[in-house]
Structure 1
Amino acid sequence: MGDWFKFLLSHKVHLCSQGYRIQTVPVTDMSRFYLFFLMLIIALISPQPVRGKGCVCELHNSESAFPENKLSNVEIIAKECIRNISSEKRTEGDRLVLGLQHRIQHLNENVSMLEKEDDGNLYAAVSLRIIQLELAEIQDLLDKLSRSTSNNQQLSAATAVQLQDMNETMMDLEDFDHTLVMEKQRENQRIKRDLKLCTDELNATSPPPTLSPGNCGLGQMVNVSGPKTYSLTVYGTSYSFGAWGKDANPAPGDENKYWLVVLSASNVFGHFVRQYNSMSTILLGIGPTDAYISSSNPTTNTIQGPNMVLYGNALYYNCYNTYSVCRFNLTTRTVSNVALPSDTGFNSKFPFGHLGTTYGYTDMDFATDEFGVYVIYTTTSNFGNIVISKVETSTPPVLGQTWSTSLHKKTVTNTFMVCGVLYATRYIDKDIEEIFYSFDTKTNTERYDWRIHIRKMQANIKYLNYDPRDHLLYVYSDAYILTHEIIFE
């Protein structure tokens, strides 16, 4: 400071920097020195140029102005999209379809009642008028569904264009992000997403609590992890249809046994059950014990289709060429059965599948959970929709309580039961299977809004069942055996 002070006292100062023009000031004493710097400071901080014995500030911005109108337009379009694509509009089609199904079912019941009536045409005209009104209501629902579908298609096309425009606009606006805020934000989002995936994997591998069958204190299903097990069977890739798992209600000493059935005749029929003492022996194919049900040629007791379960040392499956449930006792090597309703689909009338393919002879599915054994099937009287029946595990087996659903079976790839709730899956692509539907047998409530994904190692899941003892899903997928763990809330 001392050198600068001497310099300013003995010389005239001329300062000029970046558009500021400062008048030459003679400096002879201390008071004039302070006055000079006071004027300089006022010139620098004053919003108006100081003329005369002061400084003139001219600022020029070389950058183009930020287009606020573009950003405002994007915000307006985004709000409009949110308003147009409401949750009510997204579910309107599902509600109309469900209402239409119930209307058709009610109409079918009324027509059947009219056909059975024998009242000398006393009430025939009234009944026909009622049916006419119901047909008009069904036509009205069909018209609404058609309009809703058309509106949704138009809305989808318009929204796609708007989203493309918004995306291009935001990319243009990103040129003004000189501090790279957006780039860093995207990087942070990627890191957060990767961290969440890692956290989910860590949580998914934690061992769940073990509950004995019949006691169901589980929370809501929130995720499916895995696969925890993934291996070819000892048969290699020759047999793509089959089933495997553990006895859901084993005898003492058999808790760690595993069973395996492959459909060795045309991927349709099986005639024996193979058992292993542990997971390692089934993966290596060591020391199996075989229990034969029938000869290799199909007979009345032959296993038909890949869907079956083992419960209480008995195998439950679809009997060959019939609409009956077979029960094979592995101890006594005897078979007993119970018939399902006479209009039950069998022999690939109502199989599982998706748009790309169907899974042959999967008309009947069997499931175990904390409450026992179920058979999942379809009847023509329920319009091809899924029916659930509890199977009482006696000898012979007996059908218990039955529930009808609105879920069409041919739109489903697999089903399983957990705590009295039926879950259904559908094919998304070769890598993902989605749990999308549930039916609660305690409350008779249905949900179509599940979005739980199962990561696949092979394209097609031919068999899927839940074991209530270890909370694992046992999967047979294109000759591979896998397990996935269910994560509860």
Structure 2
Amino acid sequence: MKLYVIVPLFALFTSTQQASSPNNKCACELTNSEKAFPHGKLSTAEDNASKCNSNITPQMTLEMESLLLGLERRLPQLQEDVAMLEREDDGELYGVLSLQVIENELMEIKQLIARLNRTTLAHRHLTKDAAKQLEDLEAEMQELETYDTMGVVKTQILNQRLKRELDQCTMRHITTRPTQPPHGNCPHGQFVNITGPRVYTAGEYPGSYKYGAWGRDPKPEVGKERWYWLVMLTSGNKFSNYVRLYSSLSSLVVGVSQPGNVQIHSSNPTTNTIQGPNVVMYGGALYYNCYNQDAVCRFNLTTKTVTSLQLPKGTRFNSKGNFCHLDECYPFTDLDLATDESGVWVIYTTTQDFGNLVLSKVEGSGPLMLGQTWHTSVYKQGVTNTFMACGMLFATRYIDKDTEEIFYSFDTTTGLERFDVGVFINKMSSNIYALNYSPVDQMLHAYCDSLMVSYKVLFR
């Protein structure tokens, strides 16, 4: 048995035996007849492959997709604004302001097209360079394979192919149970990123009201499909008693409110008026934290009536369970209302949950009721904001004055939590006091130190 091992080994070498020395010692010189392995060439190939991977990333594809989505949204909006100007031009201030908005939109579209052209050209050069690099790498690897005299690499490749085929065969014979459908309808796919800002305006009262919220009604009444709403905390940055309506985005940007304010009560604050900035609108009704209560209020804008929903015992309110970061807590953000494709949600915390986020569905087709509830393991005061999209809860945290991170998600279908979402928001002001997702156009509306900013949500 030893003979079969020794013979091939010696076949690789030439042996020279030196004459015996007086001390009865001998030495053998072994010379390798095989070519030396080119480690330097392998190292160069690895470096080139690494550079190729770093040059071409999924983010580059998302950048192109984001620019195309931006152009896709801006052009119809410009068309609508021009049509509105033609219908409503009064030849005076409104027409001048509308023209200014249209000019700004045209300038932004030109900038977007220029950036898209630059990005397309850069990608074309990158694709050409990458194709050449891949050809060179393939040739180098084929040359390096000739040094695999024992067939180790070839055997590994064969084993990998066999394993893939076995996995595919196994999957064909497994019958999977269908998963529970998520809340609402999510035809967009998986949440992957946000781009923007797409809208950035100081509105009607620049710098006047630090806290507030704005957005669109996901289930608007007939004739109000293009309306926007705005709630500003007008009393001590804590309370409000009305919602302000705008007939279009252009009207909101130029500060022309039509039909104006819809008042909940003449006093501010008082029973069942608004407390805190985390407000949403759904189905022609405003949902918010009732003044001085651990409860959700629903104000019907048509009937001018308020109904309330008591939250579980132990729910923290009156600034005892706020959103926070290291330098600041946002007052009266105990309850965060949110909308998505399926309706209204409330995010809060309780003493029983030791300050962790709790998520509940608000059932509002008839009398207000609290639906299914989920308990998470993320601490509310380590979060700066939350929003819902397609039955998924997302939470943000403060990075610095320019950046906010969407770091956490909770899937209400599977109960799966993630702390590594890693999507960043480019802020236009230091703090985001309210964040609302609009399933109508997949936009994320932020209210930041009296500024109204929106971002496009990207799904895959």
Task: Report if TM-score (shorter chain) is over 0.5.
Answer: yes
- Distance in structure 1 (CA, Å) of the matches to 2:453 and 2:369: 31
Alignment of 1:191-206 (within 5 A): 199=64, 201-205=66-70
Q: Deviations over 1:220-260 (max 9, x none)?
A: 11110000000002111021100111111111211100000
Give the letter for the 1:358 counterpart.
C
1:454 corresponds to: 425
* Structure 1 residue runs of 4 or more that deviate by more than 6 Å after TM superposition: 188-197
Given candidates 212, 217, 225, the residue that maps to 1:255 is: 225
2:324 to 312, 333, 353: 353
Separation of aligned partners in 1, 2:56 and 2:282: 46
1:241 aligns with 2:211: yes
Superposition TM-score, scaled by structure 2 size:
0.63
What is the Cα deviation at residue 206 of structure 1? 5.3
Match in the other structure for 2:243: 273
2:199 alignment partner, one of 225, 229, 240: 229
Task: Tell whether the 8 Å contact from 2:297 to 2:306 is kept in structure 1 after alignment.
Answer: yes
Query: 1:202 is paired with a residue of what secondary structure?
Result: helix
Residue 382 of structure 1: SS of its match in structure 2?
A: coil
Residue number among 296, 303, 307 corresponding to 1:325 in the alignment: 296
Unaligned runs of 5+ in 1: 1-70, 76-180
CA shift at 1:216, angstroms?
1.6
Does residue 425 (structure 1) correspond to residue 290 (structure 2)? The answer is: no
Task: Report the Cα distance in structure 2 between the residues aligned to 1:430 and 1:200, rounded to whole angstroms.
Answer: 27
AA at the equivalent of 2:232: V
**Cα root mean square deviation, aligned:** 2.7
1:486 alignment partner, SS class: strand
Q: Partner amino acid for 1:346?
A: F
- Structure 1 counterpart of 2:335: 364
Distance 1:249 1:447 in 2: 30
Distance 1:379 1:313, change over 3 A: same
8 Å contact kept, 2:240–2:268: no
Select the residue among 358, 366, 369 that pairs with 1:398. Answer: 369
Give the conservation status (yes or no) of the 8 Å contact 1:294–1:302. yes
In the alignment of these two chains, the number of paired residues is 306
CA positional deviation for 1:215: 2.2
After TM superposition, give the deviation of residue 204 of structure 1 in Å.
Answer: 4.6
Pair 1:479-2:344 in alignment: no
Which of 187, 191, 208 is matched with 1:217 structurally?
187
**In the TM superposition, what is the alpha-carbon distance from 1:381 to its structure 2 partner?**
0.4
What one-letter code is carried by the residue in structure 2 that aligns with 1:309? V
Cα distance in 2 for residues equivalent to 1:475 and 1:298:
24
For the structure 1 residues 248 and 195, does the alpha-carbon distance in structure 2 shift closer, same or farther, using more than 3 Å as the test? closer
> 1:198 and 1:395 mapped to 2: Cα distance?
44
Q: Residue 387 of structure 2 corresponds to which residue in structure 1?
A: 416
Q: Distance in 2 between matches of 1:308 and 1:297?
A: 16
Is the contact made by 1:204 and 1:225 (CA closer than 8 Å) also made in structure 2? Answer: no
Question: Is 1:295 the equivalent of 2:160?
Answer: no
Give the letter for the 2:189 counterpart.
G
1:184-203 deviation line (CA, Å, top 9, x unaligned)? x99x9789999768535424
Asked whether the equivalents of residues 327 and 396 of structure 1 are also in contact (C-alpha less than 8 Å), the reply is no
1:331 is displaced (CA, Å) by 0.1
Aligned with 2:417: secondary structure?
A: strand
Q: Which residue of 1 is the match for residue 112 of structure 2? A: none
Q: Supply the AA of the counterpart residue of 1:368.
A: T
Larger radius of gyration: 1
SS at the partner of 1:380? coil
For residues 465-476 of structure 1, the aligned pairs below 5 Å read 465-476=436-447
How much has 1:426 moved relative to structure 2?
0.5
**1:443: how far off?**
1.0
Residue 274 of structure 1 and its aligned partner are, at CA, apart by: 0.6
Q: Distance in 2 between matches of 1:348 and 1:227?
A: 30
Deviations 1:70-94 (A, max 9, x none): x99xx9xxxxxxxxxxxxxxxxxxx
State which of 271, 275, 296 in structure 2 corresponds to 1:304.
Answer: 275
Report what 2:434 is aligned to. Answer: 463
**Aligned-pair CA distance for 1:305:** 0.1
Residues 338 and 482 (structure 1), Cα distance of their counterparts in 2 relative to 1, 3 Å cut = same
Question: Does the aligned pair in 2 maintain the 1:373–1:390 contact within 8 Å?
Answer: yes
Deviation at 1:481, TM superposition (A): 0.4
1:195/1:246 Cα in 2 relative to 1: closer, same or farther (>3 Å)? closer
Give the conservation status (yes or no) of the 8 Å contact 2:298–2:306.
yes
Q: Does 1:389 align with 2:360?
A: yes
Distance in 2 separating the partners of 1:447 and 1:191: 26
TM-score (norm 1): 0.59
Change in CA separation of 1:338 and 1:193 when aligned onto 2, cut-off 3 Å: closer
- 1:221–1:488: 8 Å Cα contact kept in structure 2? yes
**Residues of 2 paired with 1:412 and 1:280: CA distance?**
32
Structure 1 residues 192, 247: CA separation in 2 closer, same or farther (over 3 Å shift)? closer
CA distance in 1, matches of 2:58, 2:360: 42
Deviation track 1:382-432 (CA, whole Å, cap 9, x = no partner) reads: 111011111011454111111111111000001011111100011111111
Q: 1:197/1:375 Cα in 2 relative to 1: closer, same or farther (>3 Å)?
A: closer
- Superposed displacement of residue 287, structure 1: 3.5
